[in-house]
Amino acid sequence: MNHYPIFTHLHQRKVLLVGGGLVAERKASALIQAGAQLQVVAQQTTAQFAEWFAAQQAEYIGTEFSPDLLNGVFLVVAATSDPALNQRIFQAAEAAATFCNCVDQPACCSFIVPALIDRSPIQVAVSSGGHAPVLARLIRQQIEVLLPFSLGRVAAVAGRWRKQVKTALRSLSERRRFWEQLFQHSRFGQLIASGDEAAAEALLQQQLIQHQPLPQGEVVLVGAGPGDAGLLTLHALQAMQAADVVLYDALVSAEVLALVRRDALKISVGKRCGQHQVQQQQTNELLVKWAQQGKRVVRLKGGDPFVFGRGGEECAFLHAANIPFRIIPGISAGLGATAYAGIPLTHRDYAQRVLFVTGHQQLGSQTHGWQTLACAQQTLVIYMGTLQAAEISRQLIAHGRADSTPVAIISHGTQVSQHVLTGELHQLAALAQQAATPALMVIGEVVRLRQQLAWFQPQDNSVTGAAAA
């Protein structure tokens, strides 16, 4: 171990910063946030420094560095563009037994500044010992996405209760088990994340004073997006990494599933036409069963849970069973797949509105349904409609949509296996017969823009209607 890792308490401690450029500005920002009594030496400074000086968040003490400026200084940062000056500052700091960091000069550093994940009071530092700071920042980014933004508030609540817990639980092992159970209980963290710290503290008090077991687990409905794992939200990834049990749909890609915590129990509850299906009632009961056992349950759904995903039904069932739940939205296929295919859903020259419908049931069953769907100057996005493509085409044309209206069928949208068929409305049935499933149908003049805007073609496998016919 080349460096001894420490976190220094800089509040109201004198810190000297030499330099006034953009690099120095970044250093100054972090030092001010840490509460340092910052003194600045520089021949010129950025506009941001002027604001700090005016607000008395930093003090400008001159243009030239001299060793006597180190008197009473806790540490010094040299951030000038002059390596010789930085070295002279380091030598003076060494003589004064003062910590010194010279930016981008590891040999002139008695301390180094790590890449930091800040969830104050929780802080995680990543250091390469000055050898590869860019690599340290990349590692920091990977850790960053796994730590909830509310983690600091969780630590703050725990800090307020440390004394009471120590009084109530005399042995170290008892206290350790108490805190481990509390921190691992997803409901405690979620209450704090939602801003209800009072309820979180009531939960803590219930466990501590009344010695009651923590209540049942919770269910998180997570939108897995259309397939590309890069489209997951941070909240989705964090929930997947924390899950004990994951119930996932057939539409969830292998790439997304690979990001689930490795030791989590994974249960397929997918529904695909012509294949074995898990009935919705069975899925609902599984969610309740595992949550009642105190498990952190993730219901991983392709796209968005509330866009043709039956998420509303599952939430209603959980509510009736008194199971806590929350929803993490995802990018629906209608948004993700069309964007990857280069098809804007709206465009002021072609479409002023967009309709999302499902072809799984009779589209025109409601009065005047087909007239609404056949309107010009709109984009029609149809989920699960390939088996009814012939009827959809016939009805739209019969109710006024031009048979030459551009159409696209997008299979495996946003994934490396993405495949796009394009043609005209009268060709929709023929295109649907060739399309791999799952597939999304897009009908409207905006499809013409694909020739200009298509950017995601991993296998250059887009096929035109003429070629498909």
Domains, the chain, ordered by start: 14-113 (3.40.50.720), 151-209 (1.10.8.210), 218-331 (3.40.1010.10), 334-468 (3.30.950.10)
Say what percent of the chain tops pLDDT 90. 72
In terms of DSSP bridges, do strands 325-328 and 406-411 run parallel, antiparallel, or are they unpaired?
unpaired
Does pLDDT of 467 surpass 50? Answer: no
Say what percent of the chain tops pLDDT 70. 92
Lowest mean pLDDT among 35-49, 128-142, 243-257, 425-439: 128-142
Which one of the listed residues 244, 249, 295, 301 is annotated catalytic?
249
Active site residue 82: no
The C-alpha atoms of residue 132 and residue 33 are separated, in whole angstroms, by: 25
Overall average pLDDT of the 205-226 stretch: 81
Helix (H, G, I), strand (E, B) or coil at 248: strand
Q: Binding site residues for NAD(+), as ranges?
A: 22-23, 43-44
Alpha helices in 341-447 (DSSP H): 369-373, 389-398, 428-434
Helix (H, G, I), strand (E, B) or coil at 99: strand
Structure confidence at residue 211 (pLDDT) = 61
pLDDT digits (tens, 9 = 90+) for 419-459: 999 999 999 999 999 999 889 999 999 999 998 998 887 75
Q: Tell me if 223 sits within 8 A of 236, measured CB to CB.
A: yes
CA distances from 378 to 330, 342, 374, 383 (A): 24, 17, 9, 16
pLDDT averaged over every residue in the chain: 90
Structure confidence at residue 107 (pLDDT) = 92
Lowest mean pLDDT among 8-22, 172-186, 348-362: 172-186
383 vs 461, higher pLDDT: 383
Structure confidence at residue 469 (pLDDT) = 36
Entry pTM: 0.70
Structure tokens at 185: 């209980």
Q: How many CB atoms lie within 10 A of CB 177?
A: 12
Structure confidence at residue 360 (pLDDT) = 66
Q: Which residue's structure tokens are 């739209």?
A: 396
Active site residue 249: yes
Q: Averaging pLDDT over each range in 207-221, 274-288, 300-314, 449-463, which range is the top one? A: 300-314
Q: Tell me if 441 sits within 8 A of 359, measured CB to CB.
A: yes
pLDDT digits (tens, 9 = 90+) for 385-416: 999 999 999 999 999 999 999 999 999 999 99
Q: What is the dihedral of CA 297, 302, 306, 310, to 10 degrees?
A: -80
pLDDT digits (tens, 9 = 90+) for 298-352: 999 999 999 998 999 999 999 999 999 999 999 999 999 999 999 999 999 999 9
Does pLDDT of 254 surpass 90? Answer: yes
Does pLDDT of 213 surpass 80? Answer: no
pLDDT digits (tens, 9 = 90+) for 95-140: 999 999 999 999 999 999 998 999 999 999 999 888 888 999 999 9
282 vs 129, higher pLDDT: 282
CA distances from 392 to 56, 70, 319, 431, 464 (A): 69, 79, 37, 13, 20
Structure confidence at residue 153 (pLDDT) = 93
Provide the pLDDT confidence category of residue 182 given band limits of 50, 70 and 90: confident
Does pLDDT of 272 surpass 80? Answer: no
The C-alpha atoms of residue 155 and residue 183 are separated, in whole angstroms, by: 9
DSSP states of 41-93: E-SS--HHHHHHHHTTSEEEEESS--GGGGTT-SEEEE--S-HHHHHHHHHHH
Say how far residue 5 (Cα) sits from the centre of its chain.
29
Q: Tell me if 337 sits within 8 A of 414, measured CB to CB.
A: yes
Structure tokens at 357: 């419908």
Which one of the listed residues 14, 266, 271, 289 is annotated catalytic?
271
Structure confidence at residue 367 (pLDDT) = 46
Phi and psi at residue 257, to the nearest 5°: -60, -30
Give the HSE-up count for residue 393: Cα atoms under 13 Å, Cβ half-sphere.
Answer: 23
Q: Tell me if 463 sits within 8 A of 419, measured CB to CB.
A: yes
Provide the pLDDT confidence category of residue 365 given band limits of 50, 70 and 90: low
Does pLDDT of 468 surpass 60? Answer: no
Does pLDDT of 27 surpass 80? Answer: yes
The C-alpha atoms of residue 86 and residue 70 are separated, in whole angstroms, by: 14
Q: Binding site residues, as ranges?
A: 22-23, 43-44, 226, 302-304, 307, 332-333, 384, 413
The C-alpha atoms of residue 93 and residue 101 are separated, in whole angstroms, by: 10
Phi and psi at residue 383, to the nearest 5°: -85, 145
Q: Binding site residues for S-adenosyl-L-methionine, as ranges?
A: 226, 302-304, 307, 332-333, 384, 413
DSSP states of 196-246: -HHHHHHHHHHHHHS-PPP---EEEEEE-BSS-GGG--HHHHHHHHH-SEE
155 vs 130, higher pLDDT: 155
Provide the pLDDT confidence category of residue 42 given band limits of 50, 70 and 90: very high
